[in-house]
Amino acid sequence: MSDSIRNIVILTGAGISAESGIDTFRDGGGLWEKHRVEDVATPEGFARDPALVQRFYDARREAVQKVEPNAAHRALAKLDAEWEGDLLIVTQNVDDLHERAGAKRVLHMHGELLSALCASCEQRHKWSEPLVGNPACPGCGAEALRPDVVWFGEMPYEMDRIYDRLRRADLFVSIGTSGAVYPAAGFVRDAREFGAHTLELNLQRSEGSYWFDETRKGRASDLVPEWVAEILG
């Protein structure tokens, strides 16, 4: 790895949490085989059947609290602790496994399961309990809490901060994501245009694999610790 690398942006997806026991979306048996996106991951689906949507995220919130970070999350936490340059882990994942492994420089562009967003006062609250049954917002008292996750048709969080980092990135690394969902799927092209080296670590080639300078295929729990050891020298 070149000595000229100082600013790193890492994009993670469901594949990094798969070995912790969290279902991915598009692999065989993945979440989008069992549930229709339109029903559980759009504002229209929520308006149509709020209880169905709350139950879907309640189950995922409960499940996420029963699993543990794996070697890939731990390796990124080590990189975060030891890397002296800029680093941002942009995750599409709504679990908290990066943080539980100890990573600090994490941005949840698709929101977080362990957070509730009040549709009335727009405040966010840490949340580990079910939302079905409409508990009151601790801030304003309205029974208007929804999962603090980004649905299709909504704007992912903190895009300005992400593009600012991509603009300055020397290295962009994508881990465990299929490259099927924009804008995250387009980050590799943006990073390349801004001059970054681009590396993909994934079980199989992603949809945007063509855009990466380098692709390493394998399990995140093997590839990520190897790559982190390499870059930390």
In the complex, the residues that contact ligand OAD under the rule CB under 6 A are 13-15, 18-19, 24-27, 30, 41, 92, 110, 150, 152, 176-178, 180-181, 202-204, 206, 219-220
Beta carbon of residue 194, minimum distance to ligand OAD (angstroms, whole number):
22
| Residue 137 contacts residue 145 (beta carbons within 8 Å) | yes
Is there a catalytic annotation at residue 197?
no
- Nearer to ligand OAD by Cβ, of 86 and 181: the residue is 181
- Nearer to ligand OAD by Cβ, of 137 and 149: the residue is 149
- Nearer to ligand OAD by Cβ, of 13 and 45: the residue is 13
Query: Residue 159, Cβ neighbours under 10 Å: how many?
Result: 11
Q: In what order do the strands lie in the sheet with 124-126?
A: 124-126, 111-118, 145-149
Q: Closest residue (Cβ) to ligand OAD?
A: 15
Beta carbon of residue 12, minimum distance to ligand OAD (angstroms, whole number):
8
Beta carbon of residue 132, minimum distance to ligand OAD (angstroms, whole number):
19
- Nearer to ligand OAD by Cβ, of 30 and 139: the residue is 30
Beta carbon of residue 33, minimum distance to ligand OAD (angstroms, whole number):
10
Which one of the listed residues 108, 110, 125, 197 is annotated catalytic? 110
> Catalytic residue positions?
110
